Amino acid sequence: MTEDKRLEQSILLQDLGVVLGSLGIAHLLRRQIAEVLPVLKPSVPVRDHVHLLLIFLPTWAWFAGRLGLQQVRLLVGPLLDLVRALLWTQAWGAAAIAVILVAVQFSINRSLIVLFLAVSTLLLVVAKLAQRSWVQRTRGQVLALVLEGTDEAARELQTLRGRCVERMSAAEVGPLHDRLRQGGVDEVVLPGELERERLRGLVAACEEVGVPALVRLDRVGPTLARPRAEMLGATLYLSYQRHEPDRPSLLIKGLLDRTLAAAGLIMTAPLMLVVAVLVKLTSRGPVLFVQRRGGLNGRPFPMLKFRTMREGAEKERQALLAANEMDGPVFKIANDPRVTPIGRLLRRTSIDELPQLLNVVAGHMSLVGPRPLPIVETRDLVGPFRRRLSMKPGLTCLWQVSGRNELGFEEWMTMDLEYVDNWSLGLDLALLLRTLPAMLSGRGAR
147 shares a domain with 133 = no
pLDDT score, position 23 = 81
pLDDT score, position 264 = 93
Q: How many domains does the chain have?
A: 3
Asked if 131 and 11 count as a contact pair (C-beta separation under 8 A), the reply is: yes
- Rounded to an integer, what distance in angstroms lies between the CA atom of residue 440 and that of residue 370? 20
265 shares a domain with 397 = yes
177 shares a domain with 121 = no
- Residues, the chain: 446
pLDDT score, position 171 = 80
Cα 204-210-213 angle, rounded to 5 deg: 60
281 shares a domain with 349 = yes
351 shares a domain with 229 = no
Asked if 327 and 357 count as a contact pair (C-beta separation under 8 A), the reply is: no
419 shares a domain with 283 = yes
Asked if 90 and 120 count as a contact pair (C-beta separation under 8 A), the reply is: yes
- Residue 174 sits in a domain of what CATH number? 3.40.640.10
203 shares a domain with 102 = no
339 shares a domain with 210 = no
**pTM for the structure as a whole:** 0.56
Q: How many CB atoms lie within 10 A of CB 350?
A: 19
258 shares a domain with 116 = no
- Rounded to an integer, what distance in angstroms lies between the CA atom of residue 240 and that of residue 228? 7
Question: Which residues sit opposite 319 in a β-bridge?
Answer: none
169 shares a domain with 40 = no
Asked if 396 and 380 count as a contact pair (C-beta separation under 8 A), the reply is: no
Domain boundary among 240, 267, 286: 240
pLDDT score, position 240 = 64
Domain boundary among 139, 163, 184: 139
Residue 281 belongs to a domain? yes
What is the chain's pLDDT, residue by residue, as a tens digit (446 residues)?
A: 455 667 777 888 889 889 888 888 887 887 777 777 766 666 666 566 666 677 778 888 888 888 888 877 677 777 888 888 888 888 888 887 777 666 655 556 677 778 888 999 999 999 999 988 887 776 656 678 888 755 677 777 766 666 778 888 778 888 888 888 777 777 888 877 777 788 888 888 888 777 788 887 654 444 456 666 666 666 666 666 666 667 777 888 888 999 999 999 999 999 999 999 999 999 888 999 999 999 888 889 999 999 998 888 777 777 777 677 677 677 777 778 888 999 989 988 889 999 999 999 999 999 999 999 999 888 888 778 888 888 899 998 888 887 666 777 888 888 888 898 888 888 888 888 888 777 766 554 55
Q: Note down the domain range covering 37.
A: 3-139
Q: Which helix (H) or strand (E) holds 21?
A: helix 3-36
156 shares a domain with 134 = no
153 shares a domain with 105 = no
**Non-local CB neighbours of 406 within 8 Å, separated by 6+ positions:** 443, 444
Residue 446 belongs to a domain? no
The DSSP symbol for 77 reads S
